[in-house]
Structure 1
Amino acid sequence: MEALKKLCTEPGSLIALTLRAQLVGVRAALAEVLEALPEDPGAAAGREALRELDAVLERQEPEGAAAVDAYAPTRARETHALAGLAAELVASPEASNYLGPLTVPAETEAVFLWRWFHLTLLRLPAAQAHRWRERAARLAPGPEAQAAGQWVQWRALNRAWDLVPPLPDSGAPGLRIAADEQATADPSPAADLSPAAVYEVLADWVTGLAAYDTELHHCLEVLTHRGLLPLHEAGHRKAYEQELRHRIARLARQPQDSPEALRAALAVDEALCSVLHLPPAAPGSWWAEVAGTSQHTVLELRRRVRGRGADVAVEVPAPHYRDARQRTGGNDIPLDAGGLKGQVLAVLRLWARVEGQEMRGRVVYRG
């Protein structure tokens, strides 16, 4: 037990964080079954095991505390458990396959870790993200406490998402896309909205999350020709949002279903799809769905414009860079993480031809 205790308190060790998280889980499960089965033949040994686990975890209990209070996790214990879960995520196959080199943030506050963990899950395919989200839910307050928590909310298109649950005990609001009367505006199905209105909603999501997600960048070509700029820095975020809103306003001024509207929509889509993580979010992730909604809006507009007889074409670049570069302008971004060599990891700009004018695409690819 002394070796376990020493390892659990090793500063800066991911192994220690992982071990501590697992021991916290074992202790919680053992305490629960002891409370349910106090007369079990193994109860006495179980209580002794609890005392040993408490010693390893350096659990301090007030003298004379009731048994149910002795089993209640403290905020510090929850922080350790969350840090352990974050360490597991970093070391997981999901991180290796989809997130590239990833480290647990140095920030040790529960609120920061909680947000970082859930915002990172938005980059994973939905099925994998769901499994990790379920594990994190075991560390969170119960449904009643969650319901009492505050939320930062953005308007939904046609479905709601709880992106980051609140932590009421810490006073930290959750982040969600809301499809109810509490949202910042009345939700409407995407099919009933104009392209400019759809993009206003997507812009709210992207710029809103940029204030919380420290891993989010943009590579909008008009603002940074080759590099990527961190959106958590207020100056970069302000410049990006001004350019994005300007493009949406320009789209809103164009005649409905016109070639001019298609050109403007392509520019908005470029701005939205130029927001990314390193490496870009995986196919099937929440962020990939946002990009897909943006591109779908352009493709639907192309269909309507073409239906009016205009000479227009829009294409999504090919999934392999050797083919995609035939449709790009040469200012593509190579990365050394994510996907397979030569794979297109993100489409920053669609290829298009509008009334004889070609607009070259742009991609991020695995170099």
Structure 2
Amino acid sequence: MTDSGTHLTDVPFEELLATVLCAEGRYAELFREHVTRLGGVMQEGLLRAAMDRARRGVPGEEDEMWQCVAELYRRLVSRLDRRPAPAPLTEPAPATAGAAEAAAAQVARQADPAVGTVTGRAVPPGDDGAVAGAPATGGGTPHRPDVDGWAVPGARPVAPEVREAGEQVRRAIEQVFVEFADEAEVRRWTGGRPVPAGFELVDRWRAFHLSLLRLPPALEAFWTARMRSAAPAYWLEPAENWQRVPAPATVPGRVLVPACGRYPGVLADPRASKAGGVAAPLSGNEPGHDLAAGLAHQMSWLAAADEAAHSARTWQLTPLRDPHEGVGYTELLTERLAKFSQAVAWGETERCVLRAAQLAEGLRMVVHRPLVAPDSWWHRLRDETVRFVREVAAEHAPHVVITEIAGRYAEAKNNGLTDGRDDVRLTSASESDGLVLDCLRPHLRGTELGDKPGRVVYGATH
């Protein structure tokens, strides 16, 4: 431990905890039991807070507190998982959990990335450099065990302890998938199929983390902590080879999909260059350019990466995994970016606001069925589109009245806020019957524009 003269007050808390958890003896075991019990209490509290948040909401300061609890729980469970396993009476003592984690890390780093050919995924197709793992300790060519089969034909055999450690990691992650799919509050926001069965681990990993973006913050924090207790820690920390999707400066950077073995993760990065790509039609001189370009990059990536995403280009929702719909949405977004930039370049006033509202609609057309939680990361990102329209109006035509449509759908139609021609009708529960569930395009009123109807998604029971 430490010399008697060492001041323990200078030792970091986590180091003290790790030392005690790894100690031997009757009292050390008693302490571990109490710490384990504390972890269970924290887990139960996280779940209850998540359910309360999803049903009726909790104050913002409490939500922030529970996110701190989730991080404490993650660290506590991580330390518990690293303590030595007890030695059996008649068999040799097994390797410590820390050694198993190291072996699992070796397997994951060497996994063969069977990268797909769909663009916009977490890993660019054919980018071998991006998915190359670190060389094995001691130099030489590392094994290339498969993520699911642990070894590719012709490769050198994987050590039994490495194979077993990898299987332990896989089983732990798969168990989280099962629990996630069975949770009623998760199904409420994901439609009951958050993690597809029968797919490769990396596909299920991506689906799980994209589903988290649709959940209320407390529920997301709980399941993030739950996965952190199962997956190798280094998978979850951003690395140099991660894909960075540009984000608006007003949106905090965050992990969208963590790494899975040698498949790099994806990070929403406000510092990444927004020039080029889907935002190429913008000149960079438009009002709200950072918002528009960042949102375009985010929505374009999400539309291509999220198998559960739908397009609201027409009066009905169409899965974006349909190649025709995916191409159609990309073309529509590109066209609206170009028209907005053109209106700014020509010095138009009210028409700039109209083009901004149409661009905001294009950005908000990526939706889910059921719709995402009102305070989820995804919903907060989409809400930035309204701020974009107001920024453009403030600079070009402050007199234009912008109305974000909400409330009863029938009243919105009667008041002329929408003409109903291409509104999206969404089958919903009785409490949402006849309500505006999402405003795709705000209503505009201006001297030259007159009244420009908005567009919404509304609920109906039949």
TM-score exceeds 0.5:
yes
Give, in whole Å, the separation in 2 of the partners of 1:137 and 1:195: 37
Match of 1:160 in 2: 253
1:346 aligns with 2:438: yes
Alpha carbons 2:169, 2:232 under 8 Å: kept: no
What TM-score comes out, normalization by structure 1 length? 0.73
Alpha carbons 1:156, 1:201 under 8 Å: kept: yes
Q: Is the partner of 1:67 in helix, strand or coil?
A: coil
Which of 412, 419, 430 is the aligned partner of 1:324? 412
Q: Is the partner of 2:343 in helix, strand or coil?
A: coil
* Alignment CA distance shift 1:214-1:33 (3 Å): farther
Displacement of 1:229 in angstroms is 2.2
Greater mean deviation of Cα atoms: 212-221 or 83-92? 83-92
Q: Is the partner of 1:363 in helix, strand or coil?
A: strand
Greater mean deviation of Cα atoms: 338-347 or 77-86? 338-347
Which of 191, 215, 218 is the aligned partner of 2:311? 218
> Given residue 436 of structure 2, which amino acid in structure 1 is its aligned partner?
V
* Alignment CA distance shift 1:85-1:274 (3 Å): same
Match of 1:246 in 2: 335
Match of 1:194 in 2: 287
Give, in whole Å, the separation in 2 of the partners of 1:233 and 1:76: 34
Q: Where in structure 1 are there 5+ consecutive unaligned residues?
A: 1-31, 52-62, 187-191
Displacement of 1:147 in angstroms is 4.6
Displacement of 1:291 in angstroms is 1.4
Displacement of 1:130 in angstroms is 1.9
Displacement of 1:344 in angstroms is 2.5
Displacement of 1:101 in angstroms is 3.2
Match of 2:375 in 1: 284
Which of 322, 326, 335 is the aligned partner of 1:233? 322
Match of 1:336 in 2: 427
> Given residue 438 of structure 2, which amino acid in structure 1 is its aligned partner?
A
What TM-score comes out, normalization by structure 2 length? 0.59
* Alignment CA distance shift 1:267-1:136 (3 Å): same
> Given residue 243 of structure 2, which amino acid in structure 1 is its aligned partner?
V
Give, in whole Å, the separation in 1 of the partners of 2:427 and 2:453: 24
Give, in whole Å, the separation in 2 of the partners of 1:145 and 1:341: 37
Match of 2:218 in 1: 127
Which of 269, 277, 280 is the aligned partner of 1:178? 269
Give, in whole Å, the separation in 2 of the partners of 1:266 and 1:76: 51
Alpha carbons 1:336, 1:366 under 8 Å: kept: yes
Q: Is the partner of 2:432 in helix, strand or coil?
A: coil
Give, in whole Å, the separation in 1 of the partners of 2:175 and 2:431: 29
Match of 1:40 in 2: 26
Count of aligned residue pairs for this structure pair: 308
Displacement of 1:67 in angstroms is 2.0
Match of 1:10 in 2: none
Match of 1:359 in 2: 452
Give, in whole Å, the separation in 1 of the partners of 2:199 and 2:188: 26
1:67 aligns with 2:95: yes
1:259 aligns with 2:287: no
* Alignment CA distance shift 1:337-1:140 (3 Å): farther
Give, in whole Å, the separation in 1 of the partners of 2:25 and 2:459: 60
Match of 1:18 in 2: none
Alpha carbons 1:119, 1:213 under 8 Å: kept: yes
Displacement of 1:340 in angstroms is 3.1
Identity %: 27
Displacement of 1:125 in angstroms is 2.0
Displacement of 1:359 in angstroms is 2.0
> Given residue 389 of structure 2, which amino acid in structure 1 is its aligned partner?
V
* Alignment CA distance shift 1:193-1:40 (3 Å): farther
Q: Is the partner of 1:281 in helix, strand or coil?
A: coil
Match of 2:196 in 1: 105
* Alignment CA distance shift 1:145-1:129 (3 Å): closer
Displacement of 1:178 in angstroms is 1.4
Give, in whole Å, the separation in 1 of the partners of 2:241 and 2:92: 35
Match of 1:207 in 2: 300
Alpha carbons 1:83, 1:113 under 8 Å: kept: no
Alpha carbons 1:316, 1:347 under 8 Å: kept: yes
Which of 291, 314, 324 is the aligned partner of 2:402? 314
Which of 174, 178, 189 is the aligned partner of 1:83? 174
Give, in whole Å, the separation in 2 of the partners of 1:127 and 1:103: 17
Q: Where in structure 2 are there 5+ consecutive unaligned residues?
A: 1-17, 31-84, 105-164, 276-284
Q: Is the partner of 2:291 in helix, strand or coil?
A: helix
Displacement of 1:200 in angstroms is 2.1
> Given residue 95 of structure 2, which amino acid in structure 1 is its aligned partner?
A
Alpha carbons 1:270, 1:348 under 8 Å: kept: yes
Which of 298, 306, 309 is the aligned partner of 2:389? 298
Displacement of 1:240 in angstroms is 1.0
Greater mean deviation of Cα atoms: 171-180 or 100-109? 100-109
